[in-house]
Structure 1
Amino acid sequence: MSENTGRKNLRMPNDDEVFAVVTEHNGGNHVQLRCADGEDRMGRIPGRMKYRVWINEGDVVIAEPWDWQDEKANVEWRYTDEDADQLRAEGHID
């Protein structure tokens, strides 16, 4: 296969995770998320990501909803713009 399609194998959500788009940055380590399951949730950026990965409005992320409070979720992963475009092209997200 000589042609390079540029497709990467991207991290996909586990059973308890969903795709989400950051709609608002609430300061500190909290963001507002619109999740692929139709819910709007308050997202928490964990300490392991807080200073290494900058999360902005419009970013596509993987969120893990809390099982004891469904209106909240942890942000587990952030996609680059190129990776998000690939997910859209493959039909994983709107």
Structure 2
Amino acid sequence: MLGNGRLEAICFDGVKRLCHIRGKLRKKVWINGGDIILLGLRDYQDTKADVILKYTADEARNLKAYKELPDSTKINEGTYDDEIDENITFDGFDDDDDEDDIDDVSRY
């Protein structure tokens, strides 16, 4: 997202295009990194396009099943890293120590 209703999209033909989000979609449909969108290419400007539609995850899966999208397409995988790390450990925290801490607080 670039702001002012614009974004930069990497198309399946390998070209990076500056895209304009049309007014009908601007504040009603939120586009995130990694979303599959339909672009209207301009005849006179190859590096610019207009966003026509944002596909839902189900629609994108159907397009991939119908071979309209390349097999290498990743659906529901954005460019940002929001995965949860399940291997987080906190040092110095034991369940048995909680009871001792409560007793220590009540003495003061």
TM-score (norm 1): 0.67
Q: Which blocks of at least 5 consecutive residues in structure 1 are unaligned?
A: 1-24
Larger proportion of helix: 2
Does the residue aligned with 2:19 lie in a helix, a strand or coil?
strand
Pair member with larger Rg: 2
Q: Which amino acid aligns with 2:58?
A: E
Structure 2 distance, partners of 1:56, 1:89, is 23
1:39 aligns with 2:15: yes
1:87 aligns with 2:63: yes
After superposition, the CA RMSD in angstroms is: 1.3
Structure 2 distance, partners of 1:49, 1:76, is 8
Q: Once the 2 structures are TM-superposed, how far is the Cα of residue 37 of structure 1 from its aligned partner?
A: 2.9
1:3-54 deviation per Cα after TM superposition (whole angstroms, max 9, x unaligned): xxxxxxxxxxxxxxxxxxxxxx222211111223332111110111101111
Alignment map for 1:1-94 (pairs within 5 Å): 25-94=1-70
Does the residue aligned with 1:56 lie in a helix, a strand or coil?
coil
Q: Which blocks of at least 5 consecutive residues in structure 2 are unaligned?
A: 71-108
TM-score (norm 2): 0.59
Structure 2 distance, partners of 1:56, 1:28, is 15
The structure with higher relative contact order (CA 8 Å, sep 6+) is 1
Indicate the percent of aligned positions where both proteins have the same amino acid: 34
| Moved beyond 2 Å, runs of 4+ | none
Does the residue aligned with 2:61 lie in a helix, a strand or coil?
helix
